[in-house]
Chain A
């Protein structure tokens, strides 16, 4: 089964951290190990939510708004997609996410036949 691991944190707190505190080498190792195991389908870090542009439809017409579709203290700062046998395997991977101040939401991806 495929799962998307949504890496959530507060943009504000994340940006206040020093490079050392963010520990990108550890994050790179995490993705690297998953890739080596052959379970990683993709993943990336996202720019903070303040950079977002949202398209909304009003009376069928697309309009642009500045900012994310929902204002929240915690936002998605990145994601990884893994292909593993079951939820337990996805949980084990999520538990090893190394970045500080994060929550990891595990979302199953709807299979396409």
Chain B
């Protein structure tokens, strides 16, 4: 029993070290190679090959003393294979030696930003942006991305090939957007990172032990972007938001893998220190007086995280924040979330009116029906509540959420 546990810990830590080394080095190397070679698709392929080779060799041979140099040397060998048939290949090869990218390279910040903005270019589909960012910026292998999204490797590989082809053929530039477009484009980038996070967030613990922890990748990305763009408060807002969610990580599922709602979570298990640090980060961002959707969402999450209980939550403050969020993202989903706060701050009768008004837009969204069911039950309308819960269950695929709805339906007979 004990030795088994120890073995698991060792296994996990080797993997964790590998993950963090690849994350730190692969994106850096890709970014520099794109600049040196002027060929996005080729640079990305060379590094991907090197990463795959590293993941085969490092667990057996141990970590090299200089992982960047190791990856560069491997990428360089691939480049030789690739260029051998070309006339001027020696010139290109010389580029990889003489100007070989080093971590101290002065252009590193720009290189990495260029890479991120190119991968998240709005001319690419969201799916392509996600896959490309994970592969080129973080150095995930196609297999890891496929595991993260529960898709086939072939599908992910195709997506990446198509995206890279579009970058070349459509002339998507490899550069940081102009200052007057930066905020808009950053928003696109942060949207990609938050989607990566959400993919990881609802992954039920234990459902698939080798599933890549995309939430961790998203936090890493958000932190990288914040460091590269320290003047952009939305980057800090997203990092804080992700950290606040993760501070409550342990309580989001019970031991059977059933989703536990915020109101029922055991707040003693929340990571108070992480919450305090993330809340401070939100405040610091908000002090720049350039609010945005991620800062406001983080502020809402901070209100929840700092409340001693569901009942003692500052619902007035949360409602004000939702009103502000609606100015940035006037979507039906935000209004639904606001309605939940409204039910607590004002009353379920007011909230159900608001929820009902979202009917056409959200009729295919399981949480719309689940929320409605909950409110109707509180208003003493059990039959209607049951119908809503049944509809919610029909629309839910996540196993943890299904368990919760099934339990609710079993208790409401």
Residues of chain A at the chain B interface (Cβ within 8 Å): 1, 3, 85-88, 90-91, 106, 108
Contacts and interface: CB of A to CB of B under 8 A. Distances in A.
B177 A87 contact: no
Contacts of A86: 171-173
A1 B169 CA distance: 10
Interface SS, B side: loop
A55 B236 CA distance: 59
B289 interface: no
Given A88-B172, A88-B173, A88-B181, 13 more contacts: A1-B171, A85-B173, A86-B171, A86-B172, A86-B173, A87-B121, A87-B170, A87-B171, A87-B172, A88-B177, A90-B171, A91-B123, A108-B171
9 contacts: A3-B171, A85-B173, A87-B123, A87-B171, A88-B173, A88-B177, A88-B181, A106-B170, A108-B170
Contacts of A1: 171
Interface in B146-177: 169-173, 177
A109 to B, nearest CB: 10
Interface SS, A side: mixed
Contacts of B123: 87, 91
B357 to A, nearest CB: 30
Given A87-B123, A91-B123, A108 B173 contact: no
B128 to A, nearest CB: 14
A11 to B, nearest CB: 27
A3 B169 CA distance: 11
A3 B177 CA distance: 20
B177 A108 contact: no
A31 to B, nearest CB: 22
A26 to B, nearest CB: 23
Nearest to B181: A88
Contacts of B121: 87
Lowest 7 CB-CB distances: which A-B pairs, in order?
A86-B173, A1-B171, A87-B171, A86-B171, A108-B170, A87-B172, A87-B170
